[in-house]
Structure 1
């Protein structure tokens, strides 16, 4: 039955389901990073782990088991292991973790299984072990290939190590993504071009380009470096876009570029307002039911997270139902990041609400030239992508 009430949620089918696993440790906390990552205190112990791998993996498995009742019978389409620096895990630990995951969930055959990695923690033998454990996609946090820029960003690797990491990754994994930043401290147009051309020389199927921003509660927010002005950043972006387009990459999301059929399936699920189980310290999850959509948050600090799992069987600090009035903004916040947008009927399929609840906002966004007027698509115009925050804010009401 068609739901015509703007205040009740009624999903005719549940969306695709993914699994996110958070690994919270890093060798060094980067000055721009606002993710839930914690520097290993004993740097000399990094090679030996520097953290209790066995204890954390056990906590992750228990955490996953608490979610099975909420997702029973649903198949998981992708896994993303993010951080932090998941590549600090041992190959044996990764194999143990993924084996436990497969034993507890129904995982789609040939599912995309991504691991984030930093060039400073890349070892050929370990990467071979990760591939054997089931990782088939790696996302490398390159940020830049130039020593001066990497030093300014507080990265632990240099340009040569970044290039070596890409070469090792492409030998061991079916798909490789390179994360790069632009608008870096004192970055020139020519320096940005060199980074892009270096990234393109490896011919990886996927590239991500993020504009460096000063996030609250980071070192850079308190001690801001000199960044290029807005016009300079725009020029770097336009240059990147031209170089990537010429090389055969398509911009399919605000910061993501891919060759044909090489988009990140896991991230597409987020942007299309799919569901995801989130396990690990500070992990967020989103789970839909026929009559409601919920969000969850876990304990952020690794020690607090593990202690909570061990003492009470879960580490939830927040479990809430998303109010019907908040769903339009949450949906559009994600969907409008996609350059192709989404089919209009996806709104009702994923929120359980009638399209009429956003008809006024759709009209307003179209009049401003921010939203494509094609009635079969919810899609930002080029102007809308450029001023995405303004477009998304239209749906706050």
Structure 2
């Protein structure tokens, strides 16, 4: 058996902050998001975020942060002062080098130039815009509060104010053809700066779309059509200098999302806020944490106990290895097999790898790497299950 090398934790140490509030709940969304028409006491929530960050510092010890991501929900509903207080708290607890990636998610309908400038002054240097579609009919279908004109205005403001910009689009929408998606994607690339996130529409349990789809109110493209749309997405983005570096994410080389790479390279991250998850090393063990999902209940927990955790677990070696495999094979760069072996204490089956390589689903990378091929990416869940058994 090959010698087991020490586990490499270099993929990064990120901070994820979850702002759970939205102006409206999108019908496809199964994220932990909540509508509060009566408003939100942002000063009170900011103090709770600060308290929870201090709690996590006690658990992780001194670390150097490689990225910060403020997600939601709709973080662009936050006051710049709230964002600034959170970023100051991160810097008060850990080492935060100058110039690291600091991302904030924004919806075009909540974008204001002065608020964007306030976020930039607070330290945000990358914005991720939830555009989702570039035609008004599909924006209405997706339950979005903005139209195309507002989306393009938000993109223009973000390009003017922030060094880096990404925006999301959802495809494989009802009735969408390859030609229509290609035209929309070409338009999007014309506005993109360095990064696009392109997701296939999926029906998630508990969402309004789940009930509507079950009732036959709309039909999604079948598996073959969805695969064609995926393949075309890869071809068009690559031809325009934004190749895929992960199943759903595309970037100019060197402009990949540092924070998301921490997830996919199986780094460590702290999660604070309602419903946030974390995965980091504490006392030499990799732990998983999760917080209370309901915002007001989380707030009360933090104010009474200094943190909003409702559970967690210590991962076994095999669980770590399985997670590493699942996350790493999403990346075009693939995984380092020596790291898998260090995590699991055993080799992947050479017989299974040979069969999957023959089937064109995986390919070697250098002397010790493994990646999923384009065909393997389409059936990734099944591929990982096959490799890990």
Structure 1 length-normalised TM: 0.91
Between 93-102 and 307-316, report the one with greater CA deviation.
Answer: 93-102
Per the alignment, residue 47 of structure 1 pairs with none
> Aligned partners of 2:133 and 2:376: how far apart in 1?
28
CA displacement at 1:53 relative to structure 2: 0.7
The answer to whether structure 1 residue 239 and structure 2 residue 232 are counterparts is yes
Q: 2:162 aligns with which of 166, 170, 173?
A: 173
Q: Deviations over 1:155-206 (max 9, x none)?
A: 1111111111100110010110010010112223333123212211114100
> Aligned partners of 2:22 and 2:9: how far apart in 1?
39
The answer to whether structure 1 residue 135 and structure 2 residue 131 are counterparts is no
Per the alignment, residue 312 of structure 1 pairs with 305
Q: How many residues align?
A: 383
Structure 1 gap ranges (5+): 43-49
> Aligned partners of 2:40 and 2:349: how far apart in 1?
48
CA displacement at 1:356 relative to structure 2: 2.1
The answer to whether structure 1 residue 113 and structure 2 residue 102 are counterparts is yes
Per the alignment, residue 47 of structure 2 pairs with 58
The answer to whether structure 1 residue 297 and structure 2 residue 295 are counterparts is no
CA contact (8 A) 2:9 2:267 kept: no
Matching of residues 152-191 of structure 1 within 5 Å: 152-191=141-180
CA displacement at 1:11 relative to structure 2: 4.2
> Aligned partners of 1:376 and 1:10: how far apart in 2?
15
CA displacement at 1:354 relative to structure 2: 2.8
Secondary structure of 1:64's match?
helix
Per the alignment, residue 193 of structure 1 pairs with 182
Q: 2:361 aligns with which of 358, 370, 374?
A: 370
> Aligned partners of 2:23 and 2:290: how far apart in 1?
24
CA contact (8 A) 1:80 1:113 kept: yes
Per the alignment, residue 331 of structure 1 pairs with 324
Q: Deviations over 1:307-338 (max 9, x none)?
A: 00111222111120012232221111100000
> Aligned partners of 2:358 and 2:233: how far apart in 1?
30
CA displacement at 1:230 relative to structure 2: 2.5
> Cα gap change, 1:13/1:55 in structure 2, threshold over 3 Å: closer, same or farther?
same
Greater relative contact order (Cα < 8 A, sep 6+):
1
> Aligned partners of 1:101 and 1:364: how far apart in 2?
47
> Aligned partners of 2:240 and 2:85: how far apart in 1?
39
CA contact (8 A) 2:53 2:89 kept: no
Between 229-238 and 239-248, report the one with greater CA deviation.
Answer: 229-238
The answer to whether structure 1 residue 144 and structure 2 residue 133 are counterparts is yes
CA displacement at 1:357 relative to structure 2: 5.8
Between 259-268 and 222-231, report the one with greater CA deviation.
Answer: 222-231
> Aligned partners of 1:15 and 1:244: how far apart in 2?
26
Q: Deviations over 1:194-231 (max 9, x none)?
A: 32122111141001100000011111111112222223
Per the alignment, residue 125 of structure 1 pairs with 114
CA contact (8 A) 1:138 1:177 kept: yes
> Cα gap change, 1:123/1:210 in structure 2, threshold over 3 Å: closer, same or farther?
same
Per the alignment, residue 255 of structure 1 pairs with 248
> Aligned partners of 1:323 and 1:368: how far apart in 2?
31
Per the alignment, residue 68 of structure 1 pairs with 57
> Aligned partners of 2:33 and 2:12: how far apart in 1?
28
> Cα gap change, 1:381/1:235 in structure 2, threshold over 3 Å: closer, same or farther?
closer
Structure 2 gap ranges (5+): none
Secondary structure of 1:220's match?
helix
Q: Deviations over 1:263-302 (max 9, x none)?
A: 0010011001000000000000001247421100000010
Between 200-209 and 117-126, report the one with greater CA deviation.
Answer: 200-209
Secondary structure of 2:286's match?
strand
